[in-house]
Structure formats: C-alpha cells, structure tokens
Amino acid sequence: MKKNLLKTKAWKKLTDHYKHFKKIEMRDLFDADPKRADKYTLKLDNLMFDYSKNRFNDHTLKLLFRLARDCGLEEKIKAMFRGDKINFTENRSVLHIALRNRSNKPIYADGKDVMPAINAVLAKMRQFAEDVRLGKFKGHTGKKLTSIVNIGIGGSDLGPVMATEALRKYWAKDMNCYFISNIDGTACAEVLNKVNPETTLFIVSSKTFTTIETLTNARTCRKWLVDALGEPAVAKHFIAISTNQKEVEKFGINPENMFEFWDFVGGRYSMWSAIGMSIAIVAGPDNFEKMLDGAFAMDKHFATSDFEHNIPVIMALLGIWYNNFFGVKRYAVIPYDQYLQYFPAYLQQLDMESNGKSVDREGNFINYSTGPVLFGGAGTNVQHSFFQLIHQGTDFVPCDFIIPAISHNEIGDHHEILVANVLAQGEALMRGKTEKEAAAELAKAGKSKDEVKALKRYKSFSGNRPSNTFVVKKVDPYTLGELVAMYEHKVFVQGVIWNINSYDQMGVELGKQLALNILPELSGNATGIRHDCSTSKLIEAIKKMRK
C-alpha cells in the first residue's frame, strides 16, 4: 500500500465522483430503479442486510471496491486468518477468529497451532459452567451458587454485559447475573446489596491480574465475602480469568479454577474466550457455543465472499464514503430490540478504541479522518431523544437499524408497532418531506394560509439521510454471534483502508499513568508533584471539601 492514501488512484477518482454525486437525492435513485432494494440486499442465514437506502450508485461502489483492492484488503484478510502479527506495535497475532474456529482447522501463532489450547479451555469452561448450573460446584456452606458477579473492565466487562443481556431469555431460571466494572465504589456497593454471600460466585477477569480497577473491586468483594463466611470461602466463591497464576493463588483462588486466554486476543475481542464465562454459566454452554457458531459463519462469509457480496466489506466502504468524502464523522446504531440495549455501548469500544488513531502503519501523522464517533440506543426509546437531530439537524447521521422479525415476547401488538416504527424511520430518513408536501398536509389539517406559511418549513424534512437495515429472524445466540463478528470485520476493513493498527489501544494509557501520580496526593501522602495549575487547584479543592 502507498504511504499516502490520498494519492491513490481510487481515492482521487472517488474525490472527483463525490463532487458530481454529493447532491443526488435518494428519492430519485429509487424512482429511477424500482428494483434498487433487490439489487442492494444481501442475506446470510437468517440475517438480511438492506443497504439500498444509502447515497451511492453502481459507479460509487465500483470505485470503493477498487479502493479496497488498492489498499491490499484481500491480502490483509488472509494475513489475519493466517496468524500473521498484524498488531505490529505489540508484535502480536490477532486471532479472536480462532476462538470461534468451529472447523478446528489449524491456526498458527508463532508457528504453533493455537487450536488445541483453545479447545482445552473451551472444554474446561463447559464443564465448570455445567457444574455450577447443576449445583455440583457449590459454595462454602454447601448451597448452590445462583448469583454470578463478573468483575472486569473494558472488554472484560462490555462483551459479557452486552451478550448476557441479549440472551436474557436463555438464562437459567434460578440464576441472576451482575457486573462490576466502574471503580466508583457505588458500582460495587449496589451489586453487593443485592446478593447473598452463600450463593454468590465472583468471576475476576483480568489477564495480568493487576488491573487497578478490577483488582480494587475484587478485593472489596473478597473482604465482603470473608467478613461473612471466613477466609476459606474465597476458594469456593471466586474464579479467575487470567494468565497470572502467581497473583491468582495469592488472592486465594484455586488455580484449578483459573481459565486462560492469550495475548493474541485483544480485550474488546475477548468475549469469545473464557472472558465469556458469565455467558456460559447463565445462558448455558450450549448457547455460548451457538454464539461461537454464528460468529464462525460470519468469519467464513467475510474470508471467502468476493467484496461485491461481502456484508462487512460493504458496511465498511459505505462508512469510508461518508466519513472521508462527505465529512460525516459519526454514525448511530439503533437496535429495535430491548435485549440488545447494550449493543451500541459494546460497539462504541469496538469501533472507537480500534480505529481512533492518528498515526499510520509507517509512523506518519495522518492527514485524513479515521475512526468515527459511534452512539446509539434501543428503539423506540431513542426516537424521543436524539432522533430530532437525526431527522432535522444540520448534518446527516448514517444509521444502522437492527430489527428481529420475531420477538421473544409476543405480547399483544407490541412487536408490530415496533417493526412499523423501525421501517418508518428508514423510509422517513430517505424520503424526507418537502415544504410543498408539508404545506399540503397543514392545509388539509385545516390550517389557515398564514399558519401554513409560518409552519411549513418547521414541518419539512430534508431527507436524503442514509441508513442500513438489518433484519434477523430472532435474537438468538447464533444470530448474536453473527452480528458481533460482522461489526468486528467492518472495523478491521476500515482500519486497513485508513492504514492504521486497529488492534492496540495506547490512547488509554496516559490518563491511567497520571492517575497513579495523583492518587497519593489525594490521600495526603505526597506533595510537590508538578501539575498544570488547573489540576493542582482541583486537587486542593477536593481535599478541602473532604475536611
């Protein structure tokens, strides 16, 4: 790949194409081609991807596919699946795809097939999850463990939180699942107020077993347990997802109850590993593995489909089109399913931690836009929060709508209304409403000419605002796996085209380092550390308030 993306032929052609295409209306594209939706819809299993409501034509796509090929995307995909060290800043392979490699074909990292180790941990997870669910692995007083508390942060929290909520319908009837991630003591206190020490299992998820937020929360939970049941209870109520056996044992956890994962699995991709233990326990190991099956299906689709029929590739390229040519640096993900309420929050980390970069693979500062801002929430709730901006704001916001055809809870006409809403939103964003149409509606409603004139502009919608619609049959474990893997690969493709490393996250380090300097000052054990005047003043103000 050329060092300067902006000088590639495809980029220059896309720039010229944008100048001629930027004012084209989607209404006109649909009027000109009654079969546009058929042409721009793809299916995989029970997932349908309609991308027809986007601002492009055949020539746009042709140039975008050319850009992907000019950037060496095909070879980069092969390199990831081969186990090449594409995370070059940390000298690591990127093999979350191996965690759900249901074909069991060898995948190599550092010349070693990783599948035997992955399968061994998966088998150990299955056995442990079944033992907890069946009451074979009991608490210190012999009672069944029915409250699962996952202690982690970042990828060790967001993935399990999202997936367990998405699969809540599959939970064991006698179990509950809780999550502690925030270092704010309130997060810890609120969970501990809800659970019984005799029936609670804590999962401490930290690769190094040194993460300050996770270990602080874990020690608080440990003290709470020991105060209630005594020191020996720790081994029966705590397990670890880690690689640091020494620290795990020091904490009091039986090393037999330590579950390993690997450096080739980044935190935001770790849900597929033992980090998913909470999912396997509350939703069952069968459903956890069905989630792996769905992800594997998307992996195969991504690795083997030509770009023109490749769902993650097309998603990524449309994002490039808006981000880098229209200058739209944000997008929204809106699942119309209550069980997917944490899906946008999960994707925020996946996308923004992966591609929020400003230095390219050659070490040059980048002079083009990379990772967008992602936000979202569950429809229809968010229709009454940020949809005003999406429909009538000064800039358009590309949207991904996700809707299941079948609800897990068919109550009255709830789901029909929900489906009607999501389909209407996509249509409204695309079509809009002209001033003439608004005026006609107002007149029909009995408004006077003066009222029509005064209100018609406020009632009009510019339209021509893009969206993708994903229809799934049902939000089940398999489908959830497909959806998550789909976005993972989309993010990867965009990172390739932007020529960045999507797999490190060094931007989170500086604040943590500075926090360690400030901590002793707040406790009164250190003075004389140099800060800017604002930070120093804030430290002093907080200390005075405490007095």
* Residue numbers annotated as active site: 353, 384, 512
Q: Say how far residue 257 (Cα) sits from the centre of its chain.
A: 28
Q: In b/e form, how buried is each residue of 87-107, taking b as 16+ CB within 10 angstroms?
A: beeeebbbbbbbbbbeeeeeb
Phi then psi dihedrals of residue 359, to 5 deg: -125, 135
Alpha helices in 230-284 (DSSP H): 234-237, 245-251, 277-282
User: What type of residue is 197?
Assistant: P
Nearest-angstrom CA–CA distance, 542 and 217: 23
Give the Å distances, CA to CA, from 450 to 444, 455, 458, 470: 14, 9, 14, 43
Bridge partners (DSSP) of residue 204 are 151, 240
> What is the DSSP annotation of 335-380?
ES-GGGTTHHHHHHIIIIIHH---B-TTSPBP-S--SPEEEE--TT
Element housing 542 (H / E) = helix 533-546
What the block records as the tokens of 459 is 């009632």
Residue 120 CB contacts under 8 Å (≥ 6 apart), including other chains: none
